[in-house]
């Protein structure tokens, strides 16, 4: 019985280490790199606020990725599974490294869109 419990514990720990990929992450399109003086959390809040400020129902959904990283999925509207862009923010010393992936389905200039998301962040 002890061996079975020990084996079960090992299986549970192994499965806990397997994380699923976040839903709706942009994997194709253009990548733009930025640096932010904000923490990853503060930068994510700022990016999400900038997404909402663009109007047209665009939203930004923040989520944490471990202890020192966050991600923002920018969607055309609430409840949509489509993703216009994904911003990944990682702590890099006192600064944060931000990679904004803009999907190929976005109409308009991808660099301008990424820059607008990062404005003031």
Is the full-model pTM beyond 0.95?
no
Note the pLDDT of residue 25.
60
In a domain, residue 28? The reply is yes
In a domain, residue 92? The reply is yes
Residue pair 31/110 in contact by the 8 Å Cβ criterion: no
Note the pLDDT of residue 29.
80
At residue 79, φ and ψ (nearest 5 deg) are 85, -5
In a domain, residue 11? The reply is no
In a domain, residue 94? The reply is yes
In a domain, residue 13? The reply is no
In a domain, residue 12? The reply is no
Note the pLDDT of residue 79.
81
Spans of the chain below 70 pLDDT: 1-28
Domain hosting residue 37, numbered range = 24-118
In a domain, residue 62? The reply is yes
Tokens of 52: 């909402």
Residue 88: which CATH number?
3.30.310.80
Residue pair 117/44 in contact by the 8 Å Cβ criterion: no
| Domain count of the fold of the chain | 1
Note the pLDDT of residue 13.
36
In a domain, residue 7? The reply is no
Note the pLDDT of residue 67.
83
How many CA atoms are closer than 13 Å to the CA of 33, on its beta-carbon side? 3
């Amino acid at each position: 019985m002890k061996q079975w419990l020990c084996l079960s514990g090992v299986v549970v720990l192994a499965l806990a280490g397997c994380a699923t990929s976040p839903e709706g992450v942009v994997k194709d399109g253009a990548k733009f790199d930025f640096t932010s003086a904000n923490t990853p959390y503060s930068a994510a809040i700022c990016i999400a606020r900038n997404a909402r400020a663009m109007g047209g129902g665009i939203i930004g959904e923040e989520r944490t990725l471990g202890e020192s990283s966050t991600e923002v999925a920018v969607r055309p509207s609430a409840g949509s599974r489509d993703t216009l862009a994904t911003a990944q923010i990682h702590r890099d010393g006192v600064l944060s490294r931000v990679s904004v992936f803009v999907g190929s389905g976005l109409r308009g200039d991808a660099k301008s869109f990424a820059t607008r998301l990062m404005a003031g962040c």
